[in-house]
Amino acid sequence: MDFKAKLRPRSFGALVLVAGLAAPGAAPVVAQTQTDPAPDVTAAMTMQQVEAAYTGEDFAAARAGLLPFAEAGDSTAQFRLGFMMANAMGGPFDRAGAIRWLEAAIEQGYGNGALLLARVYLSGQPEVPDFTRAADLLQSEVENNSAEAHQLLGGLYRIGRGVEGDPVRAFELLRKAAGADLPAAQFAISQMYSRGEGVEADEAQATRWLLQSADAGYAKAQMSLYFNYMKGSGFPQDTEKAFQWLTKAVEGGDILATRVLGAALLIGDGIEADPLRGIALLAQAAEAGEPGAQSTLGYAYATGTGVAQNDAQAAVWYQKAADQGLTRAADVLGDLYLTGRGVEIDLAQAEHYFRIGLSGRSRHSASRLGQLMAAGEIDPDAELELAYELVSLAAEDGDEAARTWVLTRAEAGEPYLFYRLGRIYADGLGLEPDLERAAGYLKKAADGKIGAAQEQLSGLLTSGTGVEQDYIEAHKWANIAAANGSETGVEQRDILANLMTAEQIAAAQKRARDFMARP
Amino acid sequence: MRVITAMLTCALLGFGSCAWAQAQDLTTLRQAAQAGEASAQFEIAERLRTGDGVLQNYARAAEWYRAAADQGESRAKNALGALLISGLGGETDPEAGFKLLQQAAEAGELRHIYDLATAFEQGLGTPVDMSQAVVLLQKAAAGGYGEAQVSLGVIYHLGTAGSVDIPRAIALYEGPAQNGHPRALNNLGLIYARGEGVDQDYPRAAQLFTLAAERGLSEAMKNLGAMYENGFGVEVNEEEAKRLYRLAAQSSVGASIGARVANEAAAITYLYDPRLQPADPAQAATYRQAATSGDPVAQFMTGYLLASEPKTTADYREAAQFFAAAAEKGLPVAMANLGLLNFEGKGVLQDYVEGYKWLTLAALNGPAGVITLRDALAQRMTADQINAANTLAEAYMSDAR
């Protein structure tokens, strides 16, 4: 988290970005007149020297010089030290230290630390934020009419952390903060009007507050307007207005907006194509670490869109995005390592990135891993359940080696794989459908007590698809599936029962009973 | 527009109206039967056939029927004949069964004459012989036997024994119809609905269908549904038509339990023993705790709550497990519900044999209605299945001892 605040270096003003809850709002704190009796300390620096260091922007010296005073119980020094720790001045952000000294100052009745301390509690990275204490502090600040406290506490009531969730109270507090021109609160109020959250839904009010927040330069509001104008939701569809707002967000330095505009310009999506400017914006967002921009830049290099085609550069950018866990980049990069485009062929790297893709539920990566397993490049036996799934997916995508692997393993005693093969041949996944073969495989899977196969086989036997029509066998399998909890089995069985004689049903029930009695 | 479904009910071979045994002490009855008293042997057989105070068992019923029949007891001959024709009791011999029906009919009782006529009409143990059937039905009808009048009416109505003779059919239907005989009412309704040999009279037809439907005849419900759907003799009422079709599907005796369940509104009601306190869903956790430590009543209640308001199919499986545990401890109402789950195939394999076994065992000491339920569910079973269930139930009882 970046705690570099826009400081007013000549006074102890507090300004901290709080995770997800608040936008910066300048709230300079006037240093109080020291009324405490002069502390009895032997300090390395006098307070005058500390203040001189601070004014001279030698924050490290000021931070060090404050410590003895703070330790001796000087509440002003405690506040100032906590402030510097919270704002990463003269040293790194120190959450625990900031909490310690701000709490100490407040305990002594120092009047100005509560809001700052609440922000520190809410910052909570990597520690878990202490919502309860933050809410306590904010309650008293709300009584003191602090607009930012209204905004923060309203946010807590909205998400129900540190206090019992209460949309009505949340709306009340945020509305006050919005009235005091805090754009994050205005954006929140817009959302609440739009969703009818804590207030009766009112699209006109939602729009009014959204525009106010966006006009005040709040990027989320500007992006929201961009999306609304693009989709025509809440507003008449208006691409031009949409891009005006997007551009404003970009000008405000919003990295997501920069990527979105860059991508649109690159291919001319909703706006006249300007590949050069598109690339420039994408590069800016990519350099700032935005994974979507990195991936799109990779695409630009891979396809030669707006830049000279360059596989090596493509790989570099895809890699940056994939390393941040972006699934679609991992899909492509894995393929690059597999085929040696822009990189040396490296199956271990390919596997590494396909696994990132897999963790993002990518079907492409899953299927590729299955291919590698079927080809013996990855040991399937180390993770057998996963291998069955992945190789089956590769087989469904038409990979012949994968299909052979699945069949071999099925015949070696894995009836579930017969079920997968049955589906492949029944539905024609990656090949021409072959219903007879499908029925044969499903029969083997059903015999192996695979419930889904029993259901399917019952259906084929009922309609006589790929196998001779046989109501008794169909009833048997539906009944068995039903007994194992299949709703479809119940329905199928009861439909069949209406087409069957009592003798046929009796025979089917007997076969089912005998099957269930098998070990 | 839907054409009225033409539906005429067929005479089914029944076991004759069962003369319920007098509240006679079973032991006394058994002693008398063993001493060779034919009427006692017949009474014991009747109890064994229905499961009235004893474990229901067709094979054992057949033994006592035979003993009584050998002594010339005509009711026993009729009953044994029916068993031999159906195969219930383990022995299937339609020809011998037919001969017994014949011998029974010779004694002149109207319903025995009617049963013999049915055998001729349907070719049970004898080739179909409509003229013989008509002669016998006329005899029973003349004696005032309602079923025979209706069956004979159907024969004239459809012309199955020669030419169609609607006036005769109407004449035959009218008497039983006045006594509220549902098939007579329905068939008469059809004649007026179609205007067969009479002026078409929708209001009258609707009225007759209504009376028959009120008496539980599913065909009449369907017919009345068609009247409402088309506005014949009644105001068009789609809702009412749908309700009647649904009701018909539910109450159709031949409908499989499965079809009844598949029908949305036809959810099965599980049996409860009124001697127990009502199961309170708020107490589910308490029941479950007691159930887990082996209390059979708590096991039953837990199963009952699960099966009555299942949230997933897994709830049925659990319900079946709890019912089974309580059933093993001898709780009849748990046996009955386990049997029901077996019939429905919910949470367990659908297995009518197992289902019939549990309902038979439950009937021995069970809550009211188990016997009726068992016999309704048995409609979809073969004789072999029922015989197998009888054997299993008897084996279960001797194991339990």
pLDDT score, position B218: 87
CA dist., res. A449 & res. B193, Å (int)? 54
B380–A479 CB contact, under 8 Å: no
C-alpha distance from A499 to closest chain B C-alpha (Å): 10
Q: Between these two residues, A433 and B259, which has the higher pLDDT value? A: A433
pLDDT score, position A420: 97
B262–A512 CB contact, under 8 Å: no
pLDDT one-digit tens code per residue, A35-78 = 343 444 455 788 888 888 888 888 999 999 999 999 998 998 99
Q: Please state, for a pLDDT cut of 70, what percent of chain A lies above it.
A: 91
A502–B380 CB contact, under 8 Å: yes
pLDDT one-digit tens code per residue, A322-350 = 999 999 999 999 999 999 999 999 999 99
How many CB pairs (< 8 A) connect A and B?
Answer: 65
pLDDT one-digit tens code per residue, A91-107 = 888 888 999 999 999 99
Q: Among A245-254, A427-436, B15-24, B216-225, where is mean pLDDT lowest?
A: B15-24
At A58, give phi and psi (nearest 5°): -90, 75
Q: Averaged over A282-288, what is the pLDDT?
A: 95
Q: Which residues of B250-265 are buried (b: 16+ CB within 10 A; e: fewer)?
A: bbbeebbbbbbbbbee
**Is residue A14 pLDDT above 80, yes or no?**
no
Closest CA to B146 of B215, B52, B224, B247: B215
User: Would you list the domain boundaries of chain B?
Assistant: 21-107, 281-400
In CATH, the number for domain B281-400 is: 1.25.40.10
B357 touches chain A (CB under 8 A): no
Q: Averaged over A248-274, what is the pLDDT?
A: 93
A498 touches chain B (CB under 8 A): yes
pLDDT score, position B275: 78
A491–B262 CB contact, under 8 Å: yes
Q: Between these two residues, B268 and B226, which has the higher pLDDT value? A: B226
**Is residue A302 pLDDT above 50, yes or no?**
yes
CA dist., res. A65 & res. A79, Å (int)? 13
pLDDT score, position B27: 86
pLDDT score, position B252: 59
Residue B76 β-bridge partners: none
| Closest residue in B to A489 (Cα–Cα) | B345
| Closest residue in B to A493 (Cα–Cα) | B258
Q: Between these two residues, A143 and B125, which has the higher pLDDT value? A: B125
Assign B162 a pLDDT band (cuts: 50, 70, 90): confident
Whose tokens are 């699945």? That residue is: A406
**Is residue B14 pLDDT above 70, yes or no?**
no
B346 touches chain A (CB under 8 A): yes
* Number of domains chain A is built from: 1
Query: Packing angle between helix B74-86 and helix B58-70, nearest 10 degrees?
Result: 140
B350 touches chain A (CB under 8 A): yes
pLDDT score, position A473: 97
Q: Which range of residues forms the domain containing residue A507?
A: 433-519
Q: Averaged over B25-42, what is the pLDDT?
A: 91
| Model confidence pTM above 0.95 | no
Q: Between these two residues, B389 and A128, which has the higher pLDDT value? A: B389
pLDDT score, position B187: 94
pLDDT score, position A516: 93
pLDDT score, position A85: 92
Assign A125 a pLDDT band (cuts: 50, 70, 90): low
Closest CA to A147 of A185, A120, A188, A199: A185
**Is residue A3 pLDDT above 60, yes or no?**
no
Q: Averaged over B251-256, what is the pLDDT?
A: 50
Please give the ipTM for the structure prediction. 0.77
Closest CA to A327 of A302, A293, A291: A291
Assign B281 a pLDDT band (cuts: 50, 70, 90): confident
CATH 3.40.50.800 at B21-107, yes or no: no
Q: Are A368 and A397 in contact (CB under 8 A)?
A: no
C-alpha distance from A510 to closest chain B C-alpha (Å): 8
Q: Averaged over A501-505, what is the pLDDT?
A: 93
Q: Is there a shared CATH topology between the B21-107 domain and the B281-400 domain?
A: yes
| Closest residue in A to B258 (Cα–Cα) | A494
pLDDT one-digit tens code per residue, B61-92 = 999 999 999 999 999 999 999 999 999 999 99
CA dist., res. B2 & res. A66, Å (int)? 95
Using only C-alpha atoms, what is the Rg of chain A?
33
Most confident of A132-146, B127-141, B252-266, B280-294: B127-141
Mean pLDDT over all residues of chain A? 88
pLDDT score, position B216: 85
A490–B317 CB contact, under 8 Å: no
Query: Per the domain annotation, does A500 fall within a domain?
Result: yes
Query: Per the domain annotation, does A489 fall within a domain?
Result: yes
pLDDT score, position B224: 94
Query: Per the domain annotation, does A517 fall within a domain?
Result: yes
Closest CA to A441 of A459, A462, A424, A463: A424
Q: Averaged over A420-446, what is the pLDDT?
A: 95
Q: Averaged over A310-328, what is the pLDDT?
A: 96
pLDDT score, position A113: 84
CA dist., res. A387 & res. B131, Å (int)? 75
Mutate to test the interface with A, among B350, B377, B380, B381 (most CBs of A within 10 A): B350
At A14, give phi and psi (nearest 5°): -105, 130
Assign B251 a pLDDT band (cuts: 50, 70, 90): low
Mean pLDDT over all residues of chain B? 86
pLDDT score, position A129: 74
At A204, give phi and psi (nearest 5°): -65, -45
Q: Among A487-496, B19-28, B124-133, where is mean pLDDT lowest?
A: B19-28
pLDDT one-digit tens code per residue, B317-362 = 999 999 999 999 989 999 999 999 999 899 999 999 999 999 999 9
B313–A486 CB contact, under 8 Å: yes
A485–B317 CB contact, under 8 Å: yes
**Is residue A22 pLDDT above 60, yes or no?**
no
DSSP assignments along A393-442, one per residue: HHHHTT-HHHHHHHHHHHHTT-HHHHHHHHHHHHHTSSS---HHHHHHHH
Assign A355 a pLDDT band (cuts: 50, 70, 90): very high
Assign B155 a pLDDT band (cuts: 50, 70, 90): very high
DSSP assignments along A368-400, one per residue: HHHHHHHTTSS-GGGGHHHHHHHHHHHHHTT-H
B263 touches chain A (CB under 8 A): no
Query: Per the domain annotation, does A283 fall within a domain?
Result: no
Assign A315 a pLDDT band (cuts: 50, 70, 90): very high
